[in-house]
């Protein structure tokens, strides 16, 4: 059950991350070039790594990782909402 929830949260995180990268917000210019190059492939790979680690930890009976990833997702979503709606 937790793995399914993490998968859904991960899918949402990827979509939100990609939307932020495509927004060309001025704040993105403060990121290192490596994170923005190639459409943000390095940052998306990092996003995948975080999701993979959370799923592996949950699969090995560490459910606290699911809470951690849920909080991470909440922070990602909030930040993306602020950036995409011009509040930052």
Average pLDDT of every residue of the chain: 88
| Packed helices 64-84 and 2-22: angle between N→C axes, nearest 10 degrees | 20
Which candidate, 11, 23, 21, places its Cα nearest to that of 69?
11
Tokens 């990782």 belong to 65
What number of helices (H) and strands (E) belong to the chain?
Answer: 3, 0
pLDDT in tens, 27-70: 777 877 877 777 778 888 989 999 999 999 999 999 899 999 99
Cβ 79 vs Cβ 60: under 8 Å:
no
Per-residue confidence band for 85, with pLDDT thresholds at 50, 70 and 90: confident
* For the chain, domain boundaries: 2-84
The whole-number pLDDT of residue 87 equals 72
Cβ 47 vs Cβ 13: under 8 Å:
yes
pLDDT in tens, 40-49: 788 889 899 9
Q: What is the pTM of this model?
A: 0.84
């Amino acid at each position: 059950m937790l793995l399914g929830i993490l998968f859904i949260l991960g899918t949402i995180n990827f979509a939100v991350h990609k939307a932020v990268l495509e927004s060309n917000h001025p704040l993105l210019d403060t990121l290192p070039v490596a994170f923005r190059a190639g459409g943000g492939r390095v940052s998306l790979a990092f996003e995948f790594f975080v999701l993979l680690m959370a799923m592996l930890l949950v699969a090995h009976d560490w459910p606290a990782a699911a809470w951690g990833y849920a909080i991470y997702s909440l922070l990602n979503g909030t930040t993306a909402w602020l950036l995409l709606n011009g509040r930052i």
